[in-house]
Structure 1
């Protein structure tokens, strides 16, 4: 038993202090409640509003020490003892009797080092210290709660266990850090809870826990006490290979998906389907991804979020997997199953902004705590969200700890950082006069830049084999340059410019493509300035942009041919690959997050052919070093034909490291077959056709060459020899020197 200091306040009567407790306004309940040395003995007080009687029990044998005497206010009970003892409370409620240890008999639970590291912004394990932690104190099982609310007058833990009464479990304040904590005995996993916070202007709406490890299934908004994740991982082989990998030189093909709308199972009403849970996804998704040949999946944010229509991009629980698909343990099982099947898992992660739901982080303790105060800095008008104040140590550290939580606790292979451009610029999507310059008068968000560099440095130290990928849509220099050289330190950057230009080009009627030739060549002017990933993501198939297949011009045959050509262009272009679900078989409709993919389309030959092409492209991409080894180097690419705008033909060589065979890639972006089209090649002899996107196998017209072609000693495109090709319509040919 811990003896609390006697005395409640200075120059305030004890009666006034008790009345403050009764009004749930007292900020230091440990000064009044629990055991206190007074005079020659010990006084024990407990506040149980609504209870008519409380008995004090000997904790060693359960015997009654005595009835506690009603005190100065209703619900306050006191007993005087001659000496300290270990005790329990037996509380008589009108309809039940409860036995429990006294929360106010336990010492402070957070150590000085935890407090110091948190205040400094360098606590790496907030998910194991803050929030609700199942623990044992003095041999007593319970839950330790800790929350940051420095401007609160009082914070209480509330839930069904105390009838949501904020008077029952007010917390202890660590004043130097603004952190409140309490150990509540006999609570356990599964308990729903929130924080009741008294701000300067009164009691705030109940808040969910910012560091909750689990949450209720939306639309419910409570946090849930979670058991410590004890999972029997079986992915040692995967983690060993990951630690030895060189991802910049290896094939990286990512299948992006929204877990809730990939596939549904029949609902009880047989009309609307129900999203698969993590076990079902593991059983159905993993074989499908293996069949397609993708190396990784990327999940749209699975951190708990109140609004499903945000697709997860407005999360409120940065440490809790959404309850929509199962428990945290289930999610760990899904990741483990992916790893055992040779598939990496990347998570979308959102450190830029958060929703303003009243149970969330916005004005958490009655003040702008996690966000900037001024709306020109703290309000994102595009998304109606709040912007994290990453210049504040505690917020900076909170987000760093979140990143490490997913990478370490759940063995996640990489984080794709969302909306980096909105973080880098203070004037992002703002008009003149609607933003506040930095301390140098510039538009750069210096705090966010420091955060991103620190994030990448910390991940590089703590989880060096994990990837951190930037969704960054501007020409910010050095996104993938090491921080020691002044860069941001990311492993890869989404090439949004390539995506916009190439989609714009292929959406044109082939008749007009000659006038847009530069849209395909321009990207190769800067293709090696960063380590790029080529993204065809969810953002390109929603909000009236049409599905990928439906963007293609022409009749039905041309649409499929154009999309096969576009995929072949993408997979043969320098850069890692990312494709959103449904695109691989040519969904006609835009993506609908409330439904599932149109799987019935695979009964049709054109859709199966498109899926087969993606399988073959991934297989070729993995097999041929020339397609992935030198993605970030000009040495891995050589233009052969970049100026035939009249015919809309492009040709290049892809090269690997020394000893790797080069690949010849030729694209015909018109529906006109071109016979005897001469292309220079670097090697004499026969060249073998590895892929023809117009082949019958893909439901094409079966035009163009197959097998092997011999070179002629005729100079072309700077090469001493060349080959004649019959270019099929709207198609790609990939060739390799024959063995």
Structure 2
């Protein structure tokens, strides 16, 4: 171990040495003598102790005034074994303090060998590492130094920064001094590693990176951190060691099939409820209240808006930087795992909103992570999203694909989550999304489709189907891109797709004054022209009740009675329509104001009969959905739907049949005017066609329990008559309540 030149010593103290492991730690020189060298800026002195810490092997001398220490160990105290092994040792460092010198005794970080498996590094480089969170990030563990069988506690850090000239880990364990722990570069994959003895769970850390051009970058949070500071702080935190994967929901495989009843309660965790001081509920308090509430209303799932760590509350989690860290707003990762299990105990599945489309450009985050485009496309025509002022992931880069696919698997495996709803898929699929001509880069064939995204989505969905076959992945995709829910070998591989067209059309219709609805009749029926082209979910999501759009109740025309009746009729229409259901929190009791993410829902409204009535209706609609196979078994099949009345635009009436797998029907009747229709005749399959001889009303959104007028047909079965109507030989006469939806099934 030859003496270092002045330039090399300066490089060490400036943390710019290209290979610190080659010159720090314990090394033998050409004559076999042992030398120890360490960088401890600000230390008063350093001694070398034996592994037991009870004998001084040598005192290091300062060879640079800012804190480089080295010493040749006396031969009598440090002899090479016959096998040439070096002895294990400890460093005892003396630090100045206001109360007098303090000593710290710990193993040398540069006494440890290679930390990461070469096969894993190559798999990461090639995009094949299934669980990259197990390799990268911060991992508490016990490791033995080279040539020692005595393991010591500490934390292994690893980060991907292939363009960097130097990377150090800094944190509470080293005074945030990048000279203390420069990392070893693993050239196989551009990954940097170091083991820090005595670093502890809960301590804050970041990475200090020098770019290829020699520029010191702003400190970077760990892309694979499993815990982080509560904003406005933004450091990563050392999380406890990984535990075995969380148990799966035993009912997931059965309850998430395409023919299962699925009704999703979408929740923004930060505003569902709040403490009296307007603070957040933690995961345990949420677990005590939210699953029971959602289950009592008959929902089958809760869907959480993104809970990955994010710096800005008003982004609602959709601009996240800590993809592997449940946000500190609600507690730690263990608390979130308990919340998931509480949902499962209440027989609820858990779906997370997941954002692989883009990320914010905060200086501590992923943007220009190692001084050059790394996670994002280099060309701003590909790598910058002007709508949201965010960076776009480089979907063609192996490591980025591995990062995103691994993250999707992480939430499902580590926490036992049952599904992901993928945000902004349309913005990923099209290179010209929200861009004018000349502002985007065509694919290799000159087209607008992002072929790298298509490949990535197929890969992610195929991987999840293989490894977590009972989980579902849902696309928020707003265009007519073909095959979104086709298997990965034929399409994109999602299990369900949000039906954004249905949502836009039907909300536009219901917003119209009933006197004008006859001119918009097609908006409510148009969705049936494509309803079976994909496996759809019908969403009334958070996006429809913010930014001046008003609440669902606020969209409705007319006086107070008509507004509530419109909401009830619309929800009945939605639950009777083919497709899985999703309703954003607050709409289940007809919240009267637009959603605000910084306030709790207006729960006192439930003291009013009208709002409580809507909540009763949602409960009963979910009950009907669960216990009526005709309403869910053939959601994606034209054999499960039949129009009975589709063209009565003058009276704004729609009537259809839903059929289960055995052909058993349920009738849905909607009257979207405030005029009761007494003696309304509907053509139906007669007994000679295998149809029912009579029908019974099983749910009426105008019932007084829900806040309605109790107009309807609940008194007795309605007998089918041998009178032609609507092109059929038999018919049924009903009373249609004003602004209401009826559900009827064949009389027993």
Q: Please point out which of 181, 197, 206 is paired with 2:209.
A: 197
Inter-partner Cα distance in structure 2 for 1:19 and 1:59: 30
Alignment match, 1:633? 637
Is it true that 1:227 corresponds to 2:240 in the alignment? yes
Alignment match, 1:270? none
Task: Answer with 318-327 or 433-442: which moved more.
Answer: 433-442
Task: Answer with 74-83 or 563-572: which moved more.
Answer: 74-83
Q: CA deviation at 1:231?
A: 7.4
Alignment match, 2:708? 700
Task: Answer with 693-702 or 626-635: which moved more.
Answer: 693-702
**Structure 1 segment 265-276 matched on structure 2, within 5 A:** 265-267=275-277, 273-276=278-281
Q: Deviations over 1:54-111 (max 9, x none)?
A: 0110013521112112224531111213333110000001122111100001001001
Does structure 2 conserve the Cα–Cα contact (< 8 Å) formed by 1:372 and 1:387? Answer: yes
Is it true that 1:303 corresponds to 2:303 in the alignment? no
Inter-partner Cα distance in structure 2 for 1:134 and 1:246: 36
Inter-partner Cα distance in structure 2 for 1:61 and 1:591: 61
Alignment match, 1:64? 56
Inter-partner Cα distance in structure 2 for 1:7 and 1:279: 58
Q: Which runs of 4+ in 1 moved over 4 A?
A: none
Q: CA deviation at 1:162?
A: 1.1
Q: Deviations over 1:530-563 (max 9, x none)?
A: 0000000000000001111000011100000000
Q: Judging changes above 3 Å, is the alpha-carbon distance between structure 1 residues 246 and 416 closer, same or farther for their aligned structure 2 residues?
A: closer
Inter-partner Cα distance in structure 1 for 2:188 and 2:561: 69
Q: Please point out which of 669, 672, 679 is paired with 1:669.
A: 672
Alignment match, 2:267? 257
Q: Please point out which of 104, 109, 113 is paired with 2:115.
A: 109
Alignment match, 2:252? 242
Inter-partner Cα distance in structure 2 for 1:360 and 1:173: 21
Runs (5+) with no aligned partner, structure 1: 1-5, 268-272
Q: Please point out which of 326, 348, 365 is paired with 2:353.
A: 348
Q: CA deviation at 1:15?
A: 2.8
Q: Please point out which of 469, 483, 488 is paired with 1:464.
A: 469
Provide the TM-score with structure 1 as the length reference: 0.96
Does structure 2 conserve the Cα–Cα contact (< 8 Å) formed by 1:22 and 1:73? Answer: no
**Structure 1 segment 165-204 matched on structure 2, within 5 A:** 165-199=177-211, 200-204=213-217
Task: Answer with 436-445 or 495-504: which moved more.
Answer: 436-445
Alignment match, 1:710? 719
Does structure 2 conserve the Cα–Cα contact (< 8 Å) formed by 1:146 and 1:180? Answer: yes
Q: Judging changes above 3 Å, is the alpha-carbon distance between structure 1 residues 132 and 544 closer, same or farther for their aligned structure 2 residues?
A: same
Alignment match, 2:126? 120
Does structure 1 conserve the Cα–Cα contact (< 8 Å) formed by 2:122 and 2:188? Answer: no
- SS of 1:315's partner is coil
**Structure 1 segment 405-420 matched on structure 2, within 5 A:** 405-420=410-425
Q: Deviations over 1:253-295 (max 9, x none)?
A: 000010000011111xxxxx21211111111111210111100
Is it true that 1:681 corresponds to 2:684 in the alignment? yes
Does structure 2 conserve the Cα–Cα contact (< 8 Å) formed by 1:421 and 1:472? Answer: yes
Task: Answer with 32-41 or 419-428: which moved more.
Answer: 32-41
Q: Please point out which of 571, 587, 608 is paired with 1:604.
A: 608
Matched residue pairs, number? 720
**Structure 1 segment 331-730 matched on structure 2, within 5 A:** 331-485=336-490, 487-658=491-662, 661-682=664-685, 683-707=691-715, 708-730=717-739
Q: Please point out which of 208, 215, 225 is paired with 2:221.
A: 208
**Structure 1 segment 83-102 matched on structure 2, within 5 A:** 83=79, 84-95=86-97, 96-102=102-108
- SS of 1:249's partner is coil
Q: Judging changes above 3 Å, is the alpha-carbon distance between structure 1 residues 684 and 625 closer, same or farther for their aligned structure 2 residues?
A: closer
Aligned CA-pair RMSD: 1.4
Provide the TM-score with structure 2 as the length reference: 0.95
Q: CA deviation at 1:684?
A: 3.6
Does structure 2 conserve the Cα–Cα contact (< 8 Å) formed by 1:565 and 1:693? Answer: yes
Q: CA deviation at 1:202?
A: 1.0
Q: CA deviation at 1:128?
A: 1.6
